[in-house]
Amino acid sequence: MINFITRHFTSLWAFITSPFRAIWRGIVRIFPPREFTVMDTPRGNVYTFKQSSFWRFTRFCGKVGLALWASWSTYVFIYHRPLLQKRTQQLEEAHATHDRHMTDIQTYLAKFNELARNLNVIDDKILNEKSLKPEEKDKLMNSRIKTWGELDFLRTRITEMFKDDDFAPEYTKLSELSIEYELTRAENEELKKRNSQVMESMAQIASADTQIVDLVTSMTDENTEELRKNIKKIKSTVNALGLSERALITRANKFSNPIVGSAFSPLDFDKELDGKYQKLADNLELWHGLQRLNEVLPIGAPVKKMRITSNYGTRKDPFTGENKKHKGIDFAGKIGTELFAVAPGRVVSAGDRIGYGTTVEIDHGLGFTTLYAHLSQIMVSRGDWVRPGTVIGLGGSSGRSTGPHLHYEIRYKGAPFDPTKFVKE
Q: Which of 400, 415, 306 is nearest to 358 (CA)?
A: 400
Report the SS3 class of residue 255: coil
Go through 121-133 and write b for each residue having 16 or more CB atoms within 10 A of its CB, e for each that does not.
ebeeeeeeeeeee
In this predicted model, what pLDDT tens digit does every residue of 20-52 receive, in sequence order?
A: 878 888 888 888 888 777 776 676 677 777 778
Mean pLDDT on 172-187: 44
Cβ neighbours, 10 Å, residue 341 = 25
CATH code for the part of the protein at 308-423: 2.70.70.10
Comparing 215 with 181, the larger pLDDT belongs to: 215
pLDDT for res 180: 43
CB 392 within 8 A of CB 340: yes
AA letter at 151: L
- Please tell me the distance from the alpha carbon of residue 242 to that of residue 367, in angstroms, as a whole number: 12
Q: Give me the phi and psi of 147, to 5 degrees please.
A: -65, -40
Q: Which of 244, 224, 239 is nearest to 290 (CA)?
A: 224
CB 331 within 8 A of CB 306: yes
Band of the pLDDT at 363, cuts 50, 70, 90? very high
User: Alpha-carbon dihedral of residues 371, 373, 378, 381, nearest 10 degrees?
Assistant: 30
CB 366 within 8 A of CB 322: no
Residue 290 has, within 13 A of its CA and on its CB side, a CA count of 20
pLDDT of residue 329 exceeding 50, the answer is yes
Comparing 334 with 15, the larger pLDDT belongs to: 334
Mean pLDDT on 114-123: 79
- Please tell me the distance from the alpha carbon of residue 380 to that of residue 339, in angstroms, as a whole number: 11
364 burial (CB, 10 Å; 0-12 / 13-18 / 19+) is buried
pLDDT for res 110: 78
Residue 367 to residues 228, 236, 261, Cα–Cα distance (Å): 20, 17, 17
pLDDT of residue 302 exceeding 90, the answer is yes
Cβ neighbours, 10 Å, residue 110 = 12
pLDDT for res 8: 61
AA letter at 63: K
CB 324 within 8 A of CB 314: yes
pTM of the shown model: 0.50
- Please tell me the distance from the alpha carbon of residue 309 to that of residue 328, in angstroms, as a whole number: 11
Where do the domains of the chain lie?
1-25, 31-182, 217-296, 308-423
- Please tell me the distance from the alpha carbon of residue 241 to that of residue 220, in angstroms, as a whole number: 28
Q: Give me the phi and psi of 328, to 5 degrees please.
A: -150, -160
pLDDT of residue 219 exceeding 90, the answer is no
- Please tell me the distance from the alpha carbon of residue 129 to that of residue 113, in angstroms, as a whole number: 24
pLDDT for res 163: 67
Q: What is the DSSP string of 362-377?
A: EEEETTEEEEEEEEEE
In this predicted model, what pLDDT tens digit does every residue of 119-133 receive, in sequence order?
A: 788 777 777 777 777
CA gyration radius, the chain = 56
pLDDT for res 206: 61
- Please tell me the distance from the alpha carbon of residue 419 to that of residue 413, in angstroms, as a whole number: 14
CB 406 within 8 A of CB 385: no
pLDDT for res 182: 41
